[in-house]
Structure 1
Amino acid sequence: MTRTRPAPAATVPVDTDTMRGSIALLLPHETVQPPVGEQLATLTLALRGHMQLIIPEVEQITARLSSNDIPRYCALACVGEARGKLGVRAAADPHGALTYARRLARTLTALCDHYEALTGQGMCVACDRPIRATDDTVPYDRVGNSGGALTSRIHAACAQHPRPAR
């Protein structure tokens, strides 16, 4: 008897814009007044839910890549870290709750970055929003982490209206 695998169900693309909106309520912590009490608890639940949605999507995408593909390896390492963070609970005190929520937010940021990179969505380095195929963009040169020059694309509107310095 031959068994056939069912066709994978069509999934709705992950809404990284919404996820990044939740992240923005906590990061960067130098410029954001964080929520407290019930608002923080609700936001933490939302971050956990976002992670539970995006993890299987990243895993599904990486499953189609070669086992020696470096972006695949990095994304799966991030998934492992995310699963570890989901397995932990925040300390009972307010500082512990905020620290935990920020850890979730940083990990969710990395998951969103991996998802967008693996699905071909570019990110505007000026506004931290995805660049869609229909968006008007311009090249943007910047220095990379290793010192070399990188050329990215940014939204044309971001080039004309840069963010104020932090």
Structure 2
Amino acid sequence: MPPSDTTAPLDIPAMRAAARALLADDARLPLEEDELETLTLQLRGHLMPALPVVEALADELPEDDPPRACANVAVMRARTRMSLAPGRTLPARVAYAQRLARSVSALCDHYENLSGGHPVVLDPQLVSLLGLWNHCLGCETCMATDEHGVNANLCCPAADALYEDYRRAPRHVDLTAVGGGGRP
């Protein structure tokens, strides 16, 4: 099958390189503010597509299979780390980015172990949802809060367009028909 917008193999070498920038013994720390912010966003960008892929691969295994349990723990840990705020000081932001890097590294390991290195085909609706989620998490308008700390529900044209893409995305891709997904 030729590559399409629903084929989303994880770029394992790029993911591992981003994680190594913060975790290697010879990593240059502390980073400059802009460099750290860019690397943190890059790590988050690697985690977002990896989470559903690794989770789907793990779900193909029997419920009592240890690799399934380990992969699910890594997915839950990565989601928790992504939900936390990075902190206000430079050391706190570096530590946050390093935790994200550890999750990226762990998900790379689980992806390779569970998929045998074969690309995994994602549901187009999931790809659209990830795009919307990625935008909203980084958008000041989408994340704006009122004086009580509740989301202000401000109008964001970019989020509206991404939501329409998500709403129009085809549902229920038969992964066996396209030869993708899961273990060979």
**CA deviation string 1:47-106 (max 9, x = no partner):** 011111100000111121111111011000110000000010111110101011011101
The aligned counterpart of 2:68 is 72
Residue 31 in structure 1 maps to residue 36 in structure 2: no
Paired residue total = 113
The aligned counterpart of 2:48 is 52
The aligned counterpart of 1:115 is 111
Report the Cα distance in structure 1 between the residues aligned to 2:20 and 2:66, rounded to whole angstroms.
28
Where 1:47 maps in the other structure, the secondary structure is helix
Report the Cα distance in structure 1 between the residues aligned to 2:115 and 2:45, rounded to whole angstroms.
21
- TM-score, normalised with respect to structure 1: 0.64
Letter in 1 for 2:34: E
Q: CA deviation at 1:11?
A: 2.6
Residue 81 in structure 1 maps to residue 77 in structure 2: yes
Q: CA deviation at 1:10?
A: 5.1
Where 1:26 maps in the other structure, the secondary structure is helix
Report the Cα distance in structure 1 between the residues aligned to 2:32 and 2:92, rounded to whole angstroms.
12
**Aligned alpha-carbon RMSD (Å):** 1.7
Letter in 1 for 2:15: M
Alignment partner of 1:16 out of 6, 9, 12? 12
Structure with more of its chain in helix, by fraction = 2
- TM-score, normalised with respect to structure 2: 0.58
Taking only the aligned residue pairs, the percentage that are identical comes to 38
By relative contact order (CA 8 Å, sep 6+), the higher-ranking structure is 2
Runs of 4+ in structure 1 over 2 Å off = 9-12
Unaligned runs of 5+ in 2: 118-184
